[in-house]
Amino acid sequence: MKTDEIQEWATEAALAIAERVPSFPRLAVILGSGMGAFVDELGDRITIPYSLIPHFPVPTVAGHRGNLVVGSLGATYVAAIQGRCHSYEGHDLRTVTFPVRVLQSLSVRTLILTAATGGIRPGLAPGDLLVLSDHLNLIGGNPLRGPNDDRLGTRFPDMSEVYSKRLRSVAMVEAKALGFTLHEGVYACLPGPSYETPAEIRMLRSLGADVVGMSTVPEAIVARHAGMDVLAFAIVANAAAGISDTPITHQEVLAAVAGAGPRLSSLIGAVVGKL
């Protein structure tokens, strides 16, 4: 996808969505691996398969269903991106982040990101939830590279607070009210699709990473470029390489997410209720 195509293609996609959802929510959630069941919490759902949205990338990875779902979560109207694409599937980063540009065209102001991750920091166990305070972009690229379209955002967006302090504070309060611990930490994004080596995990730990994954960061960068407030949650799906003695599998990741998913859904619902 070329830079000069993004605005036009995002507008086309947004118009197609608006035909089915005339009043689009101002808050959206992007669901990571195995988290698609979150949409079951939405009332009065409208479901649009990605294949019906012009230019929208369709995921190929298990656990990413490929639907845009709009509905009510309590008293709040919410949009859910049910599954994402990744650069390791062969997409450039503009394509990976195109759904965020579509949300921008639909005037979404708050974006909640979710991801399944490997736990690096000692004390994190599979099933734990973490709210991101910052990230390390080690994916080898940036979705903003190339000519800048000023209609989308400024040439040099500030990244000193990618993840909103205000929203993080709300999340910590709501997690406590729900009776479970919400950790806070730094997410390291690597390109994948291979899981990290023990040596890479030792490097990431020395750099200050608490969890590691293969998504989220490009979307967060584009959302901030678009002027959105961003909140991001990670489910610790497995212990990172070298911390556990057992091999890491995608099935293990999906199983851990399925176990922790209801708590994350409750937390997102509580946070959304405060917004």
178: three-class secondary structure by DSSP: helix
**148, 250, 252, 270: the active-site residue:** 250
Q: Beta-strand (E) ranges in 96-180?
A: 110-119, 129-137
| Catalytic residue list contains 250 | yes
**55, 64, 135, 183: the active-site residue:** 64
**5, 12, 89, 184: the active-site residue:** 89
Structure tokens at 9: 């293609």
**238, 239, 241, 256: the active-site residue:** 238
**10, 171, 214, 239: the active-site residue:** 214
| Catalytic residue list contains 88 | yes
Yes or no: say if 101 and 6 are a contact pair by the CB < 8 Å rule.
yes
**13, 14, 28, 33: the active-site residue:** 33
| Catalytic residue list contains 91 | no
Give the torsion through C-alpha atoms of 253, 256, 259, 260, to 10 deg: -90
Q: Measured between alpha carbons, how far is 235 from 261 in angstroms, rounded to an integer? A: 8
**87, 105, 164, 215: the active-site residue:** 215
Q: What is the CA radius of gyration of the chain?
A: 17
| Catalytic residue list contains 64 | yes
| Catalytic residue list contains 89 | yes
Structure tokens at 221: 């960068």
**5, 16, 88, 203: the active-site residue:** 88
**28, 35, 79, 116: the active-site residue:** 116
**55, 86, 135, 183: the active-site residue:** 86
Q: Measured between alpha carbons, how far is 82 from 167 in angstroms, rounded to an integer? A: 22
100: three-class secondary structure by DSSP: helix
Q: Measured between alpha carbons, how far is 249 from 151 in angstroms, rounded to an integer? A: 42
Enzyme catalytic residues: 33, 64, 86, 88-89, 116, 214-215, 238, 250
